[in-house]
């Protein structure tokens, strides 16, 4: 692990590539197709062979003249470039050139896995891929007792703003219109290598519980004493992923959110968010299916508010030429240290 000095502006730290990053939803890549995606300025072509062949990932630049391979087609198990027809197998090797014959050129290959509706690549040192676990659990996507929403978008900010936003529950006033008046109580933090965890409870001090929230908790809650500070929210950054879990007083996990923020541009000042939001099904399971559109609208509104504010933070960073944050909340400072330590400083050249 590299130890960047705390003076280094966090928004100039690059994500560490020796992790598995989602780069597409499974449903975006149909059998027999190639699509283009990216990680931190590196263009990536994903291909899914016909007949159930495993997805593979190549650098999205033809070895001949660097045009995107994702503009080409999949022929059998090979990606054929649209320009002069050089074809690459899943190991990135071009065996022969249509108009010349034998060829020893190749393109870079990324270790690639598909799991829980997402396609992941390992953009760093490929020899470390097998020994690197894909992620902590991917919400409850595989658990039939939960219904999972897949969501996300491209957000114009450094991934560190996203981590801070989710872990910082002191911004409830921004969501006032959506959730009413909620008072968080910070219960403590945990710091382990590569991990920061914050725990909160909540008290409703005004406003009515929105229907979307009642769907998540599986019951109606009001401002009465018995609901105050009863539910525990645990937010955890386990580099480079983040989770948010809500447990009700009876120790039941009612919501399990998993998110990854994948840098898009080379300066890493944009990210594509991949989120999995699992909600526990109530006793009458189909009720959640009926209420799903309400839940989606509710969570969308909150997500939109968060996206807007982090983009404004990034804009201020650009306008002011750096980070002028006066952060005083200890867990956020702990989180910033973690993101600095786990990432790559701007002057460091990662081979």
Minimum distance from residue 78 beta carbon to ligand FES (Å): 12
Neighbours of 112 (CB within 10 A): 21
* Residue entry with tokens 């990053």: 21
Identify the residue among 2, 31, 54, 65 touching ligand FES (CB under 6 A): 65
Q: Assess 164 for contact with Fe ion (CB under 5 A).
A: no
Question: By C-beta, is 60 or 197 nearer to Fe ion?
Answer: 197
Q: Is residue 149 within 8 Å of 276, Cβ to Cβ?
A: yes
Q: Which helix (H) or strand (E) holds 316?
A: helix 286-320
Give the CA radius of gyration of the chain. Answer: 22
The structure tokens 């945990």 sit at 190
Among 81, 246, 260, 262, binds ligand FES (CB under 6 A): 81
Tell me if 88 contacts ligand FES by CB under 6 A. Answer: no
Give residue for tokens 């919501």: 255
Q: Is 45 in the site for ligand FES (CB under 6 A)?
A: no
Among 35, 53, 77, 84, binds ligand FES (CB under 6 A): 84
Looking at residues 110 to 129 of the shown chain, list those that interact with ligand FES (rule: CB under 6 A).
Answer: none
Which of these ranges, 60-68, 110-118, 183-191, 294-302, lies near ligand FES under the rule CB under 6 A? 60-68
Look-up of token digits 């403590």: 188
What sign does the CA torsion over 171, 172, 178, 181 have? negative
Burial class (CB in 10 A: 0-12, 13-18, 19+), 263: buried
Which CB, 20 or 88, lies closer to ligand FES?
88
Q: Which of 86, 110, 258, 317 binds ligand FES (CB under 6 A)?
A: 86
Sites for Fe ion among residues 306-345 (CB under 5 A): 306
- Of 137, 198, 133, 135, the closest CA to residue 335 belongs to 198
Name the residues that contact ligand FES, by CB under 6 A: 62, 64-65, 67, 81, 83-86
Name the residues that contact Fe ion, by CB under 5 A: 306
């Amino acid at each position: 692990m590299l130890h960047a000095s705390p003076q280094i502006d966090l928004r100039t730290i690059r994500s560490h590539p020796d992790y598995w990053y989602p780069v597409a939803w499974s449903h975006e890549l149909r059998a027999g197709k190639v699509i283009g995606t990216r990680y931190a300025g590196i263009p990536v072509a994903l291909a899914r062979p016909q007949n159930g062949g495993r997805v593979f990932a190549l650098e999205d630049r033809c070895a001949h003249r660097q045009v995107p391979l994702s503009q080409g087609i999949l022929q059998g198990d090979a990606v054929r470039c649209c320009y002069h027809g050089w074809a690459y197998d899943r190991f990135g090797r071009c065996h022969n050139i249509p108009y010349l014959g034998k060829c020893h050129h190749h393109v870079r290959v990324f270790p690639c896995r598909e799991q829980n509706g997402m396609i992941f690549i390992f953009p760093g040192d490929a020899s470390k891929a097998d020994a690197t676990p894909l992620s902590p659990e991917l919400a409850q996507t595989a658990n039939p007792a939960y219904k999972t929403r897949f969501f996300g978008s491209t957000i114009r900010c450094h991934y560190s703003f996203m981590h801070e936003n989710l872990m910082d529950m002191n911004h409830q006033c921004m969501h006032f219109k959506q959730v009413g008046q909620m008072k968080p109580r910070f219960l403590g933090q945990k710091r382990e290598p590569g991990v920061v965890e914050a725990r909160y409870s909540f008290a409703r001090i005004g406003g009515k519980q929105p229907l979307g929230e009642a769907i998540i908790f599986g019951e109606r809650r009001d401002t009465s004493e018995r609901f105050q500070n009863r539910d525990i929210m645990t937010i955890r950054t386990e580099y480079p992923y983040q989770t948010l879990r809500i447990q009700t007083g009876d120790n039941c996990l009612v919501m399990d959110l998993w998110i990854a923020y994948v840098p898009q541009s080379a300066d890493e000042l944009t990210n594509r968010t991949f989120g999995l939001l699992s909600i526990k099904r109530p006793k009458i399971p189909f009720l959640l299916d009926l209420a799903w559109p309400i839940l989606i609208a509710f969570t969308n509104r909150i997500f939109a508010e968060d996206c807007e504010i982090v983009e404004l933070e990034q804009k201020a960073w650009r306008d002011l030429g750096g980070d002028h944050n006066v952060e005083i909340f200890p867990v956020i400072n702990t989180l910033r240290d973690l993101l600095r330590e786990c990432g790559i400083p701007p002057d460091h050249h990662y081979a």
